Structure 1
């Protein structure tokens, strides 16, 4: 091929064999036979977040990608996307017409990595524990429709739901529903540090320096029993300070593959690499979104007209083209364009950027201009282009003459707790879906116990529209309710969507399985990776 870029279709499960490769040394640096994967995700234990890898606490794509390798769930998202399929369970399903009673039967012979048998009681313990701890990360809210968990014998688990929830199978495929050993995880207390003991495809050996996980070594779990085919005996995840250092490690052969987060310049360079290069770039569908969040109780943005004026001024197309190029697309809703139920609600309301329209909004609300604001962003979580993105947002808003904006960047370990506590009036965040359904782009931001700690409440959304949408097992039938939610969000602007991105993997070309190492929800699937031969 002329370019070393492999572009995958939206449903990658339709591909024939995994894209295998041609070349490379096969050593992956000092990892021996381990396949070594680089990431810029940082994993820190702090006073505010002492238990980053506890399934009852973890709620970001980086920590979930550690747990996906090690903690088994009843269901799992299939290789080629679609409805969740049994994993620790032998079978699962609703047993009533109202989608309020869900039953799973465990596989026979399930064991934790240490050899202890897994029973239905362990599943109940794990779910009840996450709900009881109610961690301030907000991850427990994924299980909020559960009323009670019942067991029958050692293998049957029955979930009684408070209300119909057609998305419940997806929620059981997320790490918060992971099965943990009661001997290792206290019922009412988070497990501090970086130890993980469960029943997933790998066990974890964590290398920690200064309360930060710098290398995670995953070793194939001999007691694993599930649906996954594990194509390697060992894999490593190494954390780098930035994309530049990670890229150097790939060039030097110290790592075999890099995932998030590569810089736009790196992606462009790899995409244009000449034939014969020993590095391949794989482009695949992505469901990541970026948005501005608002503390709607804060005096600076409490008035809806201020938030609406920002929505009217910001030029998403210019933002994307100048910072991310063809690696992202403007987004006019919280729900990405490829998800059933998407509506261009913000474009429908605001149309093209207009300073004149924004000025009218502020004048009618008697808002004195320029409105002084600080936009907060994280410097080390979403990639090196985030700073450039916020500099451009600042420029767009200030050039309107309606705003006097400053920007402030903060490390994720400080940024995230501060955002959750409501210390920022306006802040930039990203969202990688827990599962690929419109509900997961709406409820986590708008429902009770939402993930960003937003004080915004809309009773119609919470009391009627979200429950209505969840009653529809056929998600096309839920579009009316989902569209109404998006229309309300565009008017009230508790959050302001900016763009949705593609995702990329760069690998040395003796690595196989790169077509499947990430799914559309950015779930890292290390078990897919193997070694090929130079061709």
Structure 2
């Protein structure tokens, strides 16, 4: 999720039980009070992106956490595990042996929050609209393998895929496949503003100051019919300018839970705190942080420059000195814990070596130091990002191999738009899995219409390896092709993986259901939260 956009530390992964309070929640959240969730995510409208809650445009983890509770998808991820289960659908499945035709039957009596009936025509409209508008900053890449959608009556939908794709059921569980009301949403344009009409378990009332959301209030949707059983009647999401203010609110009891985002020193403080009413839990995760390249930019067009950078990055020092071990070194785009992962960058480059980096450049006829600018977003990934890039600057300048300058960008929207237009030769990004599969760490970054707007192309990955993995319903059988693709990425370096984060959740001790609050993609499941009795 820039989709995929992430914040330290927020990752995906199968979750072990996290927190438990004494007593259990009920459908009213125990005492009827709203469950209050804190976040430092920013949700805003801009001229270029005027529709923060339209599934066609929305593609960042903070806004997706809103969409998951308010729109329905045909499938959804369960409490734990990676195998999707029906949601708006009563049943779904492939109807051929090649994974090219996928059929779903809708539940009876589905309605949107405005009372309109939800039928197969709305599902077809939603997918066709996503593909027709083709918003470059949206999640259309998750749907662009769909050739046609046909309906049969009010309840049957059939997806005909261009190529086989065993991961398609997981993609139908993302907000990219959110179902919108064809009577409300324009066919060829975005639905602007901060309102939405969905059929999910909650209705939304968003408060905003200017173009930025300040509070999101979720109340039970009386029209909802699906597989989710909300453990509360109301959830309030509050947006903080920084994690320090959010932590103070948690300790005071003004909010009940937070997991996005905590700085390393906050994590250390919470781990050592003696506050009996706040509990912190660490668990594995699959958020990744990486450098992206505009491979057409003159300074990095020659892959020897990118290889030299890969030879210089000291990942253990980065996670130790900047992130206080709240992450792990990452040597591939595919994080550890997913089927098919290998340490392809370590196998090729080993430990940081300035002498070898100089040799690589010299062999390509490139004089040192190479002047280059690294761009980063100053606030979207948390306050530690500046420290991270200052450490990278120090590492790349070591031995006189590079002469690195830094460019911090205050506005996330500006940063995202400019990077997609190729205005930066190198820039820092994060990725939060759309689906918990190695495919989602390779396919979105490579090929026509890729998430980064990168000009990099590799026919072996695009035309052979990724299609081969998508024919394998058994994901273990796809591991060989995934490994080949990772080795190609390590050699060409269109992106440079840096670290893989861990997941942290802090909550008041009277909040129940926190062990189910994040699914296997670390998406927030607000319907699982209730209020019990404090220890």
TM-score by length of 2: 0.94
CA distance in 1, matches of 2:12, 2:218: 29
Q: Give 1:522 deviation, angstroms.
A: 2.2
CA distance in 2, matches of 1:11, 1:73: 21
CA distance in 2, matches of 1:446, 1:115: 42
Moved more, 482-491 or 134-143: 134-143
Task: Give CA-to-partner distance per residue, 1:395-415, whole Å, 9 cap, x none.
Answer: 111123111111122121211
Task: Give CA-to-partner distance per residue, 1:186-245, whole Å, 9 cap, x none.
Answer: 011011121111101111001010110010001111111111110010001111111111
Residues 12 and 436, structure 2, Cα contact 8 Å, conserved in 1: no
Match of 1:201 in 2: 201
SS of aligned partner of 1:12: coil
Match of 1:427 in 2: 427
Q: Which has the higher contact order (CA 8 A, sep 6+)?
A: 2
Residues 12 and 287, structure 2, Cα contact 8 Å, conserved in 1: no
Match of 2:67 in 1: 67
Match of 1:12 in 2: 15
CA distance in 2, matches of 1:171, 1:209: 33
Match of 1:522 in 2: 522
Q: Give 1:285 deviation, angstroms.
A: 2.5
Match of 2:381 in 1: 382
Q: Are 1:332 and 2:331 an aligned pair?
A: yes
Match of 2:264 in 1: 264
Q: Give 1:129 deviation, angstroms.
A: 0.4
Match of 1:28 in 2: none
Structure-2 change in CA distance of 1:522 and 1:10 (3 Å): closer
Structure-2 change in CA distance of 1:196 and 1:138 (3 Å): closer
Pairing 1:61-460 to 2, within 5 Å after superposition: 61-274=61-274, 277-410=276-409, 411-460=411-460
Structure-2 change in CA distance of 1:445 and 1:10 (3 Å): closer
Residues 20 and 532, structure 1, Cα contact 8 Å, conserved in 2: no
CA distance in 2, matches of 1:107, 1:467: 32
Q: Give 1:32 deviation, angstroms.
A: 7.7
CA distance in 2, matches of 1:325, 1:348: 25
Q: Give 1:318 deviation, angstroms.
A: 0.5
Residues 80 and 520, structure 2, Cα contact 8 Å, conserved in 1: no
Residues 288 and 521, structure 1, Cα contact 8 Å, conserved in 2: no
Q: Which runs of 5+ in 2 are unaligned?
A: 1-10, 24-30
Pairing 1:492-511 to 2, within 5 Å after superposition: 492-511=492-511
CA distance in 2, matches of 1:40, 1:251: 16
CA distance in 1, matches of 2:130, 2:333: 27
Q: Give 1:382 deviation, angstroms.
A: 1.1
Q: Give 1:252 deviation, angstroms.
A: 2.0
Aligned length: 517
Q: Give 1:326 deviation, angstroms.
A: 2.6
Residues 40 and 243, structure 1, Cα contact 8 Å, conserved in 2: yes
Structure-2 change in CA distance of 1:349 and 1:492 (3 Å): same
Q: Give 1:138 deviation, angstroms.
A: 4.3
Residues 32 and 233, structure 2, Cα contact 8 Å, conserved in 1: no
Task: Give CA-to-partner distance per residue, 1:442-499, whole Å, 9 cap, x none.
Answer: 0000132111100101111111111111111111111111111101000000000001
CA distance in 2, matches of 1:299, 1:127: 38
CA distance in 2, matches of 1:22, 1:77: 27
CA distance in 2, matches of 1:512, 1:378: 35
Q: Give 1:284 deviation, angstroms.
A: 2.5
Q: Are 1:533 and 2:533 an aligned pair?
A: yes
Residues 282 and 514, structure 1, Cα contact 8 Å, conserved in 2: no
Residues 72 and 87, structure 1, Cα contact 8 Å, conserved in 2: yes
CA distance in 2, matches of 1:254, 1:451: 37
Q: Which runs of 5+ in 1 are unaligned?
A: 1-7, 24-30
Residues 378 and 428, structure 1, Cα contact 8 Å, conserved in 2: yes
Structure-2 change in CA distance of 1:296 and 1:138 (3 Å): farther
Match of 2:462 in 1: 462
Task: Give CA-to-partner distance per residue, 1:163-199, whole Å, 9 cap, x none.
Answer: 1000000110010101000122101101112111110
Q: Give 1:22 deviation, angstroms.
A: 5.0
Q: Give 1:9 deviation, angstroms.
A: 13
Match of 2:473 in 1: 473
CA RMSD of aligned residues (A): 1.6
SS of aligned partner of 1:105: strand
CA distance in 2, matches of 1:296, 1:457: 10
